[in-house]
């Protein structure tokens, strides 16, 4: 009988220890590498020709720019993984809306209209639109655009602004998929002018030797935002905002902007 009681008590002790072990902590026995493998990798889309925010560095065949470095700094600060796809601005918006991408960062201006289909982070940069012409152009401002052809980039706030004033100033709009092809249209004379974000065309003229000149002050100044499909990936927006705040406090944000001339 004593042996039976002792055996029973020992069995109960083993069961108790196993139960305690199962309940203590998280119960997760995976290694850190296994946990990292299980973690979600976010798919981020971006533009492919919007220097200095994203553009192809031909010496490395990699996309670089303000957006690329801010995204990388935020992800490292918040400890999440992502893969970047530089497919173009229109393609990025379409990918997010279709659920093929978790988010996009592409110098995307935050507007009330876009808020109907996207949720945005805090603004990480502010910019406005300017009128741009060839250096020898007779055009001095919007008042000189009557019967002229103005180039704009598809699906951008620059294009929206052009649409809002084209009847007032009497010009026609030609749309292009990329900033580079839009600039080329003005340089070659197939368009008389273009409307572009001030920081982007300023960088193109100064650092990429694009032979154009800015002839107006920035208008319609708004913030750029990191965007997700409305109602989805709220945790990603929250992480972006926290990371953005942290890299601003650390000085890394200013270093990124200084690297690209801001």
Report the candidate in 65, 190, 177, 191 with the shortest Cα–Cα distance to residue 131: 191
Question: What is the C-alpha separation between 62 and 114, in angstroms, rounded?
Answer: 29
Residue 6, CB-side half-sphere exposure with 13 Å CA sphere: 3
Is the bond into 52 cis (omega within 30 degrees of 0)? yes
**Alpha helices (runs of H) in 83-176, residue ranges in sequence order:** 89-98, 157-169
Strands 81-86 and 41-46: parallel
**Please, how many CA atoms are within 13 Å of residue 173, restricted to the half-sphere of its CB?**
21
- Predicted pLDDT at 159: 95
pLDDT tens across 211-227, in order? 999 999 999 999 999 99
Closest CA to 53 of 61, 44, 62, 65: 65
For CA atoms 139, 144, 147, 148, give the dihedral sign.
positive
* Share of residues in the chain with pLDDT > 90 (%): 82
What is the SS3 assignment for 60?
A: coil
pLDDT above 60 (res 138): yes
pTM: 0.78
- 230-256 per-position pLDDT tens digit: 999 999 999 999 999 999 999 999 999
Percent of the chain past pLDDT 70, that is, above it, reads 85
Distance of alpha carbon 181 from alpha carbon 163, whole angstroms: 20
CA distance 139 to 35: 60
Asked if pLDDT for residue 86 goes beyond 90, the answer is yes
pLDDT higher than 90, residue 31: no
Does 115 score more than 90 pLDDT? yes
Q: What mean pLDDT do residues 149-178 have?
A: 96
> Residue 261 — very low, low, confident or very high, per pLDDT cuts 50/70/90?
confident
Across the range 153-161, mean pLDDT stands at 94
How remote is the C-alpha of 5 from its chain's centroid?
69
* Token pair listed for 116: 């109907």
* pLDDT tens digits for range 90-107: 999 999 999 999 999 999
**CB contact at 8 A, 38 and 72:** no
CA-based radius of gyration for the chain: 26
Mean confidence (pLDDT) of the chain: 88
């Amino acid at each position: 009988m004593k042996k039976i009681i002792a055996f029973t008590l020992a069995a109960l002790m083993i069961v108790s220890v196993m139960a305690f072990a199962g309940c203590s902590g998280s119960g997760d026995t995976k290694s850190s590498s296994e946990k990292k493998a299980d973690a979600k990798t976010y798919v981020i889309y971006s533009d492919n020709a919007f220097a200095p925010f994203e553009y192809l560095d031909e010496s490395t065949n990699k996309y670089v720019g303000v957006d690329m470095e801010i995204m990388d700094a935020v992800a490292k600060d918040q400890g999440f993984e992502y893969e970047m796809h530089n497919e173009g601005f229109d393609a990025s918006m379409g990918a997010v809306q279709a659920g093929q991408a978790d988010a996009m960062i592409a110098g995307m201006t935050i507007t009330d209209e876009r808020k109907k289909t996207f949720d945005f982070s805090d603004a990480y940069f502010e910019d406005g639109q300017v009128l741009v012409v060839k250096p020898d152009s007779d055009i001095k401002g919007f008042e000189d655009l009557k019967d002229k052809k103005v180039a704009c980039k598809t699906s951008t706030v620059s294009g929206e602004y052009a649409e809002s004033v084209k009847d007032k100033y009497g010009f026609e709009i030609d749309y292009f998929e990329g900033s580079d092809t839009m600039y080329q249209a003005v340089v070659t004379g197939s368009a008389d002018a273009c409307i572009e974000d001030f920081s982007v065309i300023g960088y193109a003229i100064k650092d990429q030797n694009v032979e154009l000149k800015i002839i107006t002050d920035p208008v319609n100044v708004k913030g750029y935002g990191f965007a997700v499909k409305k109602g989805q990936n709220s945790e990603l927006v929250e992480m972006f905002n926290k990371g953005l705040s942290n890299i601003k406090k650390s000085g890394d944000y200013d270093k990124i902007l200084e690297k690209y001339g801001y």
